[in-house]
Amino acid sequence: MYPERPLPDALERISGRRSVKAMDLTEPGPDEATLQTILTTALRVPDHGKLGPWRMVIFSGNDRAAFGDVLAKRWQSLHPEANEAQISFEKNRFMRAPVVVAVLSERSPEHKIPEWEQILSAGAVCQNLLIAASLAGFAAQWLTEWYTYDAHVQSLFEIGDHEDIAGFIYLGSAASKPDERPRPEPPSRIQHWHAQNGA
Ligand SMILES: Cc1cc2nc3c(=O)[nH]c(=O)nc-3n(C[C@H](O)[C@H](O)[C@H](O)COP(=O)(O)O)c2cc1C
């Protein structure tokens, strides 16, 4: 049988998964081999047309602080009145987690596969990343925050005309289990289609 059944542990982990706020993420992060496993697993998404309409940029070690310097400078230029605390927060933004992964949605608008489907595939990469991290024993959060939409920050990723940052996935360990958050009741979002009037 494919896939093999049952997989109760994976289902339990996924159905109980919660994001952990970046500020509550801590060491250890995944080691290099585990990170590669998480990232390659994340890229195994449905992709209509085999376009691979996504890419990732990894921030780890000292590069997180270096990127924080860039964010702080940009924040200061946008907000000359910014105080020391705000500038320091920007400097340390990427230090909140051991690893930060930027996921970019890179579309081919001229392709017959609708752009919307290419965007969905990038969203699937992000969610797969959260799930793979969780199954590997790590906590994560998908954030966009201001820098995702900032033209200067985007230029550092050499963002093309048909490209966007889908988000930044912060990865690490959580000191404690996060509380549950209110969610829509699944039955309110799930319905069966019934044939009516001979349709
Ligand atoms: C595309 C996207 C961007 C998000 N950006 C932010 C953000 O900038 N700040 C934030 O607090 N939460 C943001 N979130 C929400 C969190 O990632 C997460 O959904 C929320 O904390 C609850 O997560 P959970 O249902 O996985 O526990 C974003 C979610 C998505 C899907």
- CB burial class (10 A; 0-12, 13-18, 19+) of residue 119? middle
pLDDT in tens, the chain (199 residues): 777 776 678 999 999 999 999 999 999 999 999 999 999 999 999 999 999 999 999 999 999 999 999 999 999 999 999 999 999 999 999 999 999 999 999 999 999 999 999 999 999 999 999 999 999 999 999 999 999 999 999 999 999 999 999 999 999 999 889 999 999 999 999 999 998 865 5
Whether 169 lines ligand 1, by a CB cut-off of 6 Å, is no
Q: Using alpha carbons, select from 90, 133, 124, 85 the residue that is nearest to residue 105.
A: 124
Whether 142 lines ligand 1, by a CB cut-off of 6 Å, is yes
Residue with the smallest CA separation from ligand 1 atom 18 is 19
Residue with the smallest CA separation from ligand 1 atom 9 is 143
Side-chain-facing half-sphere of 184: CA atoms under 13 Å = 5
Q: What is the pTM of this model?
A: 0.95
pLDDT score of 6: 66
Whether 36 lines ligand 1, by a CB cut-off of 6 Å, is no
pLDDT score of 110: 95
Beta strands (DSSP E) in the chain are 25-26, 54-60, 99-106, 139-143, 163-174
Q: Count Cβ neighbours within 10 Å for each residue of 40-57 and write b for 16 or more, e otherwise.
A: ebbbebebeeeeebbebb
Residue 26: which region, alpha, beta or left (left: phi > 0; alpha: psi -120 to 50)?
A: beta
| Ligand 1 geometric centre to CA of 184 (Å) | 15
CATH superfamily for 22-60+97-175 is NADH Oxidase (3.40.109.10)
